[in-house]
Amino acid sequence: MDHAVQKTPEREAFYRKIDGENLTALWTVMGDLITPEPKSACRPHLWRFDAIRDYMMEAGKLITAKEAERRVLVLENPGLRGQSKITTSLYAGVQLVMPGEVAPAHRHSQSALRFILEGKGAHTSVDGERTIMEPGDFVITPSMKWHDHGNQTSEPMFWLDGLDIPLVQFFDASFAEGSTEDEQEVTRPAGDSFARYGRNLLPVDLKRASQASPIFNYPYNYTREALEQAKARDEWDACHGLKLKFSNPATGDFAMPTIGTFIQLLPKGFKTARYRSTDATVFAPIEGGGRSRIGEQTFEWGPRDLFVVPSWQWVTHEADEDSVLFSFSDRPVQQKLDLFREDRGNA
């Protein structure tokens, strides 16, 4: 699998001849195709929120959310420049909606998540329901659901966008359409999806076409409370501290079929054991501070900084204070395809 085949003039001539017929000899490319371990162009990287914030405020003067459709700065992995990818399979960006602005209604095959970084009280509407967002809230926009964002507060609102754009691109399965209305009609009262599905009760004959969660805002106050209660019980995992996955109450699976999302508490002074997995992961600390060692590099982080861990690179985290980290990856896809692997070192 890992051996290089000898070059001879006859072989080289043969390769050139078949090249014109759109043919390639497998034995010349096999080693790059089937690698003994994941070999990714994706690199570890950290973006400081303060720097992104300054550029976004500048962008706020250059273009409106309406003209841009979405005023977003894309987080491009340094190993994957020009492809709008933060990992090989996922996209990430930071979106700004200024006071009084609307990011107009559209829908697309791509699934999206928002993780709110700064600002309180702007809204997003998904599939006829409006939700107000605040820092730490995790909001989903399932595939082909209409969505628009608006900010009726007096402060700019920033959030992290995570989408499965590269996955959909890989499958050549992208459909999108805009609306004639900037904002979709609100057809359900605020809190409707949470009232229906967020209380451990489901309609007895529930049948849903979508694999995405029927709840589209997972508010931070509930998330934080769940972490705090577990903290009181000292339930630490050597590799993860305390890590939970956001789940679809109708199935128990991840909140979205293509993107897995997690929230993690690392108590003050905790240093994780080394861990690696095949799902390259984007991290967004929302509270606390510390550092993560990814491969051979160490990255210091604080609230709202954003960093990426490539597939199969060893990672350890260290928290200087009680720290909460949101993260997302393509784990649901890899698990469904029997591809997901993890390695806990010896922990």
Of 100 and 203, which CB lies nearer to ligand GTQ in the complex structure? 100
Asked if 159 and 75 touch (Cβ cutoff 8 Å), the reply is no
Query: Cβ closer to ligand GTQ: 112 or 250?
Result: 112
Please, are residues 156 and 130 in contact by the beta-carbon 8 Å criterion? no
Instruction: Tell me which residue of 167, 166, 159, 120 sits closest to 140, measured CA to CA.
Output: 159
Segment 14-73, which members bind ligand GTQ (CB under 6 A)? 70, 72
Report the site for ligand GTQ in 125-164 (rule: CB under 6 A).
Answer: 147, 161, 163
- Using Cβ positions, the residue closest to ligand GTQ within the complex turns out to be 161
**Spatial contact of 138 and 117, defined as CB atoms under 8 Å apart:** no
15: left (phi over 0), alpha (psi -120 to 50) or beta: alpha
The residue (of 147 and 240) whose beta carbon lies closer to ligand GTQ is: 147
What residues numbered 166-185 form the site for ligand GTQ, per CB under 6 A? none
- The secondary structure of residue 254, as a DSSP letter, is B
- Least Å distance, CB 164 to ligand GTQ, is 11
Question: What is the residue whose two structure tokens read 């006829």?
Answer: 128
Give me the residue label for tokens 């982080």. Answer: 301
**Distance linking the first and last C-alpha atoms of the chain:** 31
Question: Which string of x and - marks every residue 258-297 that binds ligand GTQ (by CB under 6 A)?
Answer: ----------------------------------------
Q: Which amino acid is at 35?
A: T
Question: Shortest approach of ligand GTQ to residue 160 CB, angstroms?
Answer: 9
- Bridging pattern class, strands 157-163 and 147-150: unpaired
Nearest CB to ligand GTQ, comparing residues 70 and 274:
70
List the interface residues with ligand GTQ, window 65-94 (CB under 6 A): 70, 72, 93
Residues 99-118, one symbol each (x = binds ligand GTQ by CB under 6 A, - = not), give: ---------x---x------
For residues 306-335, one letter each, b for 16 or more C-beta atoms within 10 angstroms of the residue's C-beta and e for the rest, the string is bbbbbbbbebbbbbeebbbbbbbbbbbbbe
Window 215 to 234, contacts with ligand GTQ (CB under 6 A): none
Lookup: tokens for 141: 């926009």
Nearer to ligand GTQ, 144 or 190 (CB): 144
Q: Would you call 308 helix, strand, or coil by DSSP?
A: strand
Smallest gap from Cβ 235 to ligand GTQ, in A, equals: 34
Backbone angles phi, psi at 57, to 5 degrees: -65, -35
Closer residue to ligand GTQ (CB): 49 or 270 = 49
> How many Cα atoms sit within 13 Å of 60 on the Cβ side?
19
95 touches ligand GTQ by CB under 6 A:
yes
Least CB distance from residue 70 to ligand GTQ, whole Å?
4
Q: Minimum distance from CB of 153 to ligand GTQ (Å)?
A: 18
The residues that touch ligand GTQ, with contacts defined as CB under 6 A, are 70, 72, 93, 95, 108, 112, 147, 161, 163
